[in-house]
Amino acid sequence: MREAMFQDLLFLVLLVGLSVPLGVYIYKVMMGEKVFLSRIMQPAERGIYRIIGVREDDDMSPGQYTGAVLIFSGIGLIALFLLLMVQGLLPLNPEHQTAMSWDLAFNTAVSFVTNTNWQAYSGESALSYLTQSLGLTVQNFVSAGMGIAVLFALIRGFVRKSQGTVGNFWKDMVRIHLYVLLPLSAILALLLVSQGVVQTFSPYAHVANLENSAASIVPLGPAASQIAIKQLGTNGGGFFGMNSAFPLENPTAFSNLLQLLSILLIPASLCVSFGRAVKDRGQGRVIYAAMLFLFILCLVGITASERYGAPLIHGVASSGNMEGKEVVHGVGTSALWAAATTAASNGSVNSMHDSFTPLAGGLLMFLMQLGEIVFGGVGSGLYGMLAFVILTVFIAGLMVGRTPEYLGKKIAPFEMKMVCLIVLAPPLLTLLGTAAAVLMPQSASWMTNSGAHGFSEILYAFTSLGNNNGSAFGGYAANNAFTNILGGFVMLLVRYIPMAGVIFLAGSLSGKKSVAAGEGTLSTSGAMFAFLLIAIILLIGALSFLPALALGPIADYFTTRGLS
């Protein structure tokens, strides 16, 4: 346990230490200030604007910005769906992978376009090198960039006065990719290759088996380039079916640390960027502290549960629950990764979550069920947290009988309607999807386990789909037409309903004048507000999901202890 505590502390120190300079850098990039890459990237940036016919100084209304988001995503969805359906006819397919079924292709295309990266297939046995590179990796970039773009549209809503515009979507996307995502991904990919992560277009290797005459097949491919952006962009889709538990995707302790840091690095950095952008660093610190507190709280619970576990699980008392974990990672590293991937909208795994103890599995679900706001996805995590901040301000305003305001902007009924869309859409779609799956006559055949643990498998699957996470328990047979189709629509709705709400919230705030803070203005940059924010988040999460969790992991815990 001491080793796990030291490892977790080192990870958090590195995360905070790296996030501050990166957050300042992202702020400068998105505010149009000069950075050290400006001399290199500005000619390319201007060239892209000329090609796509965009003027840098053009601003968009909320409707125009939302339309650009939906059109861009729609084109990407259609292109990726068609690529998955015709990959057998295209080059860079040395293993002769054939087309996916239409429902699996639909689910996969939606999954990557929405930054969910839910995978009901194994990459090495279902996708060609061209599909992985041109299809999935490209969407890993642009779906991540879209989350950051929408976040800065919201930030402009707080900063601007009486304008009603939220920025230019195309300019935001170009700058995010040229100055942030591409350079970081190139650096991380090179570091991963140095650790032995595979990056090749050669066919799969056939290796002689020492035990018998049969040859073993070792899957290869251009993996490092996809793994870099899958982690940095909180995508999480593995190049190989076993994801980051596979040696060629995550071969060493250092590659494991690099990937772990990259999962939370940009979401944490954006808190710093937010504080800088609104000219009040205390606001960013409060949000960062709230996220960090919730993350540490869940991490301690997950690690303790895996280390000491339920008494009836063999071997837990001596070495922890090693079922479903790689020996090289152990309990501590597996618990840290699981907490990070479910706190962020990432979904990559280096162990099988279905084998976690019931309470640890329940905490992994709860981290997602909070709405992916404990760091969360790049951009989407922070704008989701800001919705909770506005909700907290509104509730506090009602308690003292004042019109609520945040960062000098009055919070009116329209803003609260948008906040409700952002906050309530994920839990509603998660619970509706879970209920629909449980009611299906064949649902029992989709579960590896029965009883409370079987229900947990379904609840986890739709929690992951309904919060754009993408991780899986590992015990749910996801590749069926019902889950592929329903899950696809859940992923679409839970991505774009809150996103549209954020953009229109930004437009409404941008059109308002700023009001000066008075004696009765609630301070939103102190410890008291951070405590209130955490309480509201936990209250909303508990009210939404406690009954479902009671039927799943909580009941599973008491069953495992022999107390049911």
3-state percent breakdown (helix, strand, coil) of the chain, nearest 5: 65, 5, 30
pLDDT at residue 317 tops 70: no
| Calpha distance 185→232 (Å, rounded) | 7
- pLDDT tens, residue by residue, 483-535: 999 999 999 999 999 999 999 999 999 999 988 777 667 888 889 999 999 99
Residue with tokens 């200030």: 33
Query: 51 pLDDT band (50/70/90 cuts)?
Result: very high
| Calpha distance 524→407 (Å, rounded) | 8
Average pLDDT over residues 525-547: 93
pLDDT at residue 214 tops 60: yes
* Contact assessment for residue 64 and residue 77, using Cβ atoms and an 8 Å cutoff: no
Average pLDDT over residues 329-350: 92
* The pairing of beta strand 409-410 with beta strand 205-208: unpaired
Mean confidence (pLDDT) of the chain: 92
Q: Which of 535, 534, 560 is nearest to 359 (CA)?
A: 560
| Calpha distance 409→388 (Å, rounded) | 16
| % the chain with pLDDT above 70 | 96
Which secondary-structure segment (H or E) carries 208? strand 205-208
Q: What tokens does 410 get?
A: 């009055």
CA distances from 63 to 66, 68, 147, 164, 175 (A): 5, 9, 17, 11, 21
* Contact assessment for residue 149 and residue 125, using Cβ atoms and an 8 Å cutoff: no
More confident residue, 322 or 379: 379
| Calpha distance 73→114 (Å, rounded) | 8
Average pLDDT over residues 360-372: 93
pLDDT given at position 234: 94
pLDDT given at position 56: 81
pLDDT given at position 168: 96
Average pLDDT over residues 207-232: 86
- pLDDT tens, residue by residue, 154-163: 999 999 998 9
Task: Tell me if the pTM is above 0.85.
Answer: yes
Query: 316 pLDDT band (50/70/90 cuts)?
Result: very low
Average pLDDT over residues 348-367: 92
| Calpha distance 45→56 (Å, rounded) | 10
In DSSP notation, 376-443 reads TSTTHHHHHHHHHHHHHHHHHHHHHTS--EETTEE--HHHHHHHHHHHHHHHHHHHHHHHHHHHSTTH
| Poorest-pLDDT segment among 7-16, 31-40, 205-214, 240-249 | 205-214
| Poorest-pLDDT segment among 47-51, 191-195, 475-479 | 475-479
Average pLDDT over residues 91-120: 95
pLDDT at residue 310 tops 60: no
Query: 564 pLDDT band (50/70/90 cuts)?
Result: very low
| Poorest-pLDDT segment among 192-201, 291-300, 339-348, 512-521 | 512-521
- pLDDT tens, residue by residue, 391-449: 999 998 888 777 789 999 999 999 999 999 999 999 999 999 999 999 999 988 888 88
pLDDT given at position 210: 67
Q: What tokens does 344 get?
A: 């962020």
pLDDT at residue 559 tops 90: no
Residue with tokens 């049911």: 564
Instruction: Give 372's DSSP letter.
Output: S
Cβ burial of 50 (10 Å; 0-12, 13-18, 19+) is exposed
pLDDT at residue 451 tops 90: no
Angle at 73 between CA 67 and CA 79, to 5 degrees: 135
Query: Cβ neighbours of residue 502 under 8 Å, at least 6 residues apart?
Result: 150, 151, 153, 154, 383, 387, 418, 422
The residue count of the chain comes to 564
pLDDT given at position 3: 77
pLDDT given at position 401: 72
Q: Give the Cβ contact number of residue 400 at 10 Å.
A: 9
| Calpha distance 234→260 (Å, rounded) | 11
pLDDT at residue 187 tops 60: yes
Q: Where are the domains of the chain?
A: 22-206+216-277
Query: 315 pLDDT band (50/70/90 cuts)?
Result: very low
pLDDT at residue 318 tops 60: no
pLDDT at residue 139 tops 80: yes
pLDDT given at position 563: 44
CA distances from 462 to 30, 46, 555 (A): 34, 42, 19
* Contact assessment for residue 166 and residue 62, using Cβ atoms and an 8 Å cutoff: yes
Instruction: Give 178's DSSP letter.
Output: I
